[in-house]
């Protein structure tokens, strides 16, 4: 069982909770997420299964797409609805044209300072740990790119926007910045990730579906299935049966690395690469660039063009 499973994460649990659940239902020891979602957020959470955990560094998740709802009138210490209100502000009477103008001003390259409640580290310690201790620390702003930003829905107290941005962009920070530019303050009421690189919400596996796969009898909410097990709750189906159904939803390593150019090898050459020989160089990749070595329609290795030809960076079992 090797590949990537796209989970539609529910609100109220951590990304680590999702990883632990998938480990439990599949019996796999190696399961890892490619990037966390905040507990209040929902949507695309890609998980690497088995040997695919060694391929995370080769993924191209440079584009993220979010559906974000900004509550106007109050800023919180976390930048979302889970935090404490730190400032309130009136909501001005602005027009649709005002909103469009403000959103347009945020597109392009810009610098963004990570929020206090984030996993960014300062002197080896995550910022959220300092924040929980009541300590204020500063970190330098980081370059981000907002590819597009458009309005989905507007009410007198909120804005719902569609955000396409680079990896490392904090929607929580952007939400308050947008509200401030409109003359108010704001925080995220909801955040849903629709896309993370090649991984889309369409075709993802939500926890209701996963719970239905796992439960031995129908009619149970996913919380009953997963959270009540230690208390002698819902009986689970045999793990092999569940694993087979989950496997049908897995994105293959080759599909996940579709952004890489390819070299196809067969027979003795494929066997040699699998046993440690250098792969053929890739004519479609420049020096120092990565490419996929493919055999039988499956990913055999991720390699890199060097001055002396190809070099395997990771060979799959």
CATH code, domain with 311: 2.30.130.10
- 233 pLDDT band, cuts 50/70/90, is confident
| Among 167, 170, 191, 164, residue whose Cα is nearest residue 71 | 191
pLDDT in tens, 170-222: 999 999 999 999 999 999 999 999 999 999 999 899 999 999 999 999 989 99
Average pLDDT over the chain, rounded to an integer? 94
**The predicted structure's pLDDT at residue 231:** 52
- 272 pLDDT band, cuts 50/70/90, is very high
Same domain, 229 and 169: no
How far the first Cα of the chain sits from its last, in Å, is 12
- 230 pLDDT band, cuts 50/70/90, is low
Same domain, 47 and 89: no
Same domain, 291 and 311: yes
pLDDT in tens, 5-47: 999 999 999 999 999 999 999 999 999 999 899 999 999 999 9
Question: How many angstroms separate the CA atoms of 117 and 97, rounded?
Answer: 33
Same domain, 127 and 203: no
pLDDT in tens, 96-154: 999 999 999 999 999 999 888 888 888 888 888 888 888 888 889 999 999 999 999 99
pLDDT in tens, 239-248: 999 999 999 9
Question: How many angstroms separate the CA atoms of 229 and 171, rounded?
Answer: 35
Looking at the DSSP bridge assignments, the partners of residue 50 are: none
Stated as kind and residue range, the H or E segment containing 25 is helix 15-26
Active-site position among 38, 80, 176, 177: 38
**The predicted structure's pLDDT at residue 88:** 98
% of the chain beyond a pLDDT of 90: 85
Q: What values do phi and psi take at 225, rounded to 5?
A: -65, -45
Same domain, 158 and 129: yes
pTM > 0.85? yes
Same domain, 40 and 81: no
Q: How many helices (H) and strands (E) does the chain have?
A: 9, 18
Same domain, 47 and 140: no
Question: How many angstroms separate the CA atoms of 165 and 151, rounded?
Answer: 15
- 234 pLDDT band, cuts 50/70/90, is confident
Same domain, 134 and 79: yes
Same domain, 71 and 131: yes
Structural domains counted in the chain = 3
Question: How many angstroms separate the CA atoms of 40 and 241, rounded?
Answer: 31
**The predicted structure's pLDDT at residue 228:** 67
Q: Which of 190, 214, 232 is the last residue of a domain?
A: 190
| Among 225, 258, 242, 277, residue whose Cα is nearest residue 10 | 225
- Has 38 been annotated as catalytic? yes
**The predicted structure's pLDDT at residue 190:** 98
Domain membership of residue 298 as a residue range: 260-315
Asked if the model's pLDDT at residue 278 lies above 60, the reply is yes
Distance (Å) of CA 265 to CA 79, 268, 283 = 50, 9, 14
Same domain, 100 and 24: no
Residue 252 lies in a domain: no
- Residue 41: CATH number of its domain: 3.30.70
Same domain, 80 and 165: yes
* Total number of residues shown for the chain: 317
């Amino acid at each position: 069982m090797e590949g990537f499973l796209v989970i539609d994460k529910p609100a109220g649990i951590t990304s680590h909770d999702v990883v632990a659940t998938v480990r439990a239902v599949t019996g796999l020891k190696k399961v890892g997420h490619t990037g966390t979602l905040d507990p209040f957020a929902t949507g695309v959470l890609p998980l690497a299964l088995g040997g695919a955990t060694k391929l995370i560094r080769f993924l191209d998740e440079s584009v993220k797409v979010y559906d974000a709802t900004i509550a106007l009138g109050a800023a919180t210490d976390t930048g979302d609805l889970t935090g404490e209100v730190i400032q309130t502000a009136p909501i001005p009477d602005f027009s649709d044209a005002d909103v469009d103008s403000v959103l347009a001003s945020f597109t392009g390259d810009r610098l963004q300072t990570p929020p206090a409640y984030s996993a960014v580290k300062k002197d080896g310690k995550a910022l959220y740990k300092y924040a929980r201790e009541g300590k204020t620390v500063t970190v330098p702003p980081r370059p981000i790119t907002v590819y597009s930003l458009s309005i989905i829905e507007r009410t007198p107290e909120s804005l719902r926007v569609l955000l396409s941005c680079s990896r490392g962009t904090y929607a929580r920070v952007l939400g308050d910045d947008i509200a401030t530019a409109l003359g108010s303050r704001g925080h995220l009421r909801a955040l849903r990730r629709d896309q993370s690189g090649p991984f889309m919400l369409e075709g993802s596996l939500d926890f209701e579906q996963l719970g239905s796969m796992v439960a031995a009898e129908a009619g149970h909410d996913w919380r009953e299935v997963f959270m009540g097990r230690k208390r002698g709750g819902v009986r689970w189906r045999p793990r092999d049966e569940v694993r087979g159904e989950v496997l049908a939803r897995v994105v293959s390593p080759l599909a996940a690395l579709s952004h890489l150019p390819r070299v196809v090898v067969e027979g003795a050459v494929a066997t040699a690469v699998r046993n440690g020989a250098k792969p053929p160089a890739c004519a479609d990749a420049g020096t120092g660039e990565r490419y996929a070595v493919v055999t039988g329609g499956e990913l055999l290795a991720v390699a890199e063009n060097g001055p002396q030809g190809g070099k395997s960076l990771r060979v799959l079992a």
